[in-house]
C-alpha cells in the first residue's frame, strides 16, 4: 500500500502518518524529518536545505527527489510506505510517478487532510517536537504527560524555528502556490481522498482507516 499525505503545513499529516504506519506496518517517510536529520548530522545536504527551511521556502526539487527515491529502495519499503511532506510540487509528483512507473507500480491513495488557514497558525505555534526522536506534540491538543519532556524517549521538546509565526505565514503562501495544485493532480488520477482535519485526531484517524478499507 502506497499512500501520500497531502495538506497544509500543520494540518496533521505527520500525526496521522505515524498512526497509519503503526496500524498497517509500513514505514512513515517524512522528507521534513529526513532533512532535519541531515541538518542535525551536519551533512552537506543539511546545510543546503537549512537556508531554505529557515525561511519557510521549499528545498529545491533536485535535492529532495533523489532522497525519496533512494529511500523507496530500502528493504522496509517493499510492502509500501506513507509519504508525508512529499511530493510538494507538481515536478516532484511527476518525478515520483516516473520512478514508480519504471518499476510497474503506482500510488494507491492520496489523502488530503483539510484544515483552514486560521486553524493552522494555532496548530503550528503550539506544536512541539522532540529534539532526540522527532515525536510531535501540541501544548493544548496533544500535550506530553510531563511538561516539555517527550513521552516516548524523555528528550527535550522545542518549538521548531520554522513554526515561529513570521515563518508560518510564508509556509502557508508557499503551500497555496506550489503544493495545493497537487490536490487537482491526484483528483484527475482518481486516487484523491478528502478528510476533515479539524476534528479530534482520533476521529481523523478513524476516517482514514475507513478509506483504507479497514
Ligand atoms: P503536519 O505534519 O501536517 O505539518 P503535524 O502532524 O505535525 O502536522 O500537526 C501539527 C500540530 O497540530 C501538532 O502540534 C499536532 O500535535 C497538532 N494536531 C495534529 N492533528 C490535530 C487535530 N486533529 N486536532 C488538533 N491538533 C492536531
Ligand atoms: P515538514 O516537516 O514537512 O513541515 O517540512 C519542513 C520543511 O522542509 C519545509 O518547509 C521545506 O522547507 C522542507 N521540505 C520538506 N519536504 C519537502 C519537499 N518535498 N520539497 C521541498 N522542501 C521540503
pLDDT at 173: 96
Q: Give the CA distances from residue 195 to residues 39, 46, 191, in Å, rounded to whole numbers and listed in that order.
A: 32, 33, 13
Helix (H, G, I), strand (E, B) or coil at 94: helix
Conformational region of residue 143, where left means phi above 0, alpha means psi within -120 to 50, and beta covers everything else: beta
pLDDT > 90? residue 214: no
Instruction: Tell me the residue length of the chain.
Output: 214
Of the chain, the percentage scoring pLDDT greater than 70 comes to: 100
Give pLDDT tens digits for 95-114. 999 999 999 999 999 999 99
Residue with the smallest CA separation from ligand 1 atom 10 is 10
Give pLDDT tens digits for 166-175. 899 999 999 9
pLDDT at 42: 96
Read off the DSSP letter of residue 59: P
Nearest to 96 by CA among 175, 191, 23, 162: 191
Integer Cα distance of 63 and 35 in angstroms: 10
Nearest to 36 by CA among 54, 16, 17: 54
Residue with the smallest CA separation from ligand 2 atom 6 is 32
pLDDT at 73: 87
Give pLDDT tens digits for 111-149. 999 999 999 999 999 999 999 998 999 999 999 999 999
Does any ligand 1 atom lie closer than 6 A to the CB of residue 137?
yes
Cα 77 to chain centroid, rounded = 17
Read off the DSSP letter of residue 47: H
**Residue 46: count of CB within 10 angstroms of its CB:** 17
Give pLDDT tens digits for 58-76. 999 999 999 999 998 899 9
pLDDT at 72: 87
2-118+170-211 CATH fold: Rossmann fold (3.40.50)
Cβ partners under 8 Å of residue 143, min gap 6: 137
Domain boundaries in the chain?
2-118+170-211
Pick the atom of ligand 1 nearest to 142's CA. 16
Give me the catalytic one of 2, 36, 88, 123.
88
Per-chain mean pLDDT for the chain? 95
Residue of higher predicted confidence among 72 and 22: 22
Q: Give the CA distances from residue 36 to residues 54, 63, 77, 91, 181, in Å, rounded to whole numbers and listed in that order.
A: 11, 14, 21, 22, 25
Amino acid at each position: 500500500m502506497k499512500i501520500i499525505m497531502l495538506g497544509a503545513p500543520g494540518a496533521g499529516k505527520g500525526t496521522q502518518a505515524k498512526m497509519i504506519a503503526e496500524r498497517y506496518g509500513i514505514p512513515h517517510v517524512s522528507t521534513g524529518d529526513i532533512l532535519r536529520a541531515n541538518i542535525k548530522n551536519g551533512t552537506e545536504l543539511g546545510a543546503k536545505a537549512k537556508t531554505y527551511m529557515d525561511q519557510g521556502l521549499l528545498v529545491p526539487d533536485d535535492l529532495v527527489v533523489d532522497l525519496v527515491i533512494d529511500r523507496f529502495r530500502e528493504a522496509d519499503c517493499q510492502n509500501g510506505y506513507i509519504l508525508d511532506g512529499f511530493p510538494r510540487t507538481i515536478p516532484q509528483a511527476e518525478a515520483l510517478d516516473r520512478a514508480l512507473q519504471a518499476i510497474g507500480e503506482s500510488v494507491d491513495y492520496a489523502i488530503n487532510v483539510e484544515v483552514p488557514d486560521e486553524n493552522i497558525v494555532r496548530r503550528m505555534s503550539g506544536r512541539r517536537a522532540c529534539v532526540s526522536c522527532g515525536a510531535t506534540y501540541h501544548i493544548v491538543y496533544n500535550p506530553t504527560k510531563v511538561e516539555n519532556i517527550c513521552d516516548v524517549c524523555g528528550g527535550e521538546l522545542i518549538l521548531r524555528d520554522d513554526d515561529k509565526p513570521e515563518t508560518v505565514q510564508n509556509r502557508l503562501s508557499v503551500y497555496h502556490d506550489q503544493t495545493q495544485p497537487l490536490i487537482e493532480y491526484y483528483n484527475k488520477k482518481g486516487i484523491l481522498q478528502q478528510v476533515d482535519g479539524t476534528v479530534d485526531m482520533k476521529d481523523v484517524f478513524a476516517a482514514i482507516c475507513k478509506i483504507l478499507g479497514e
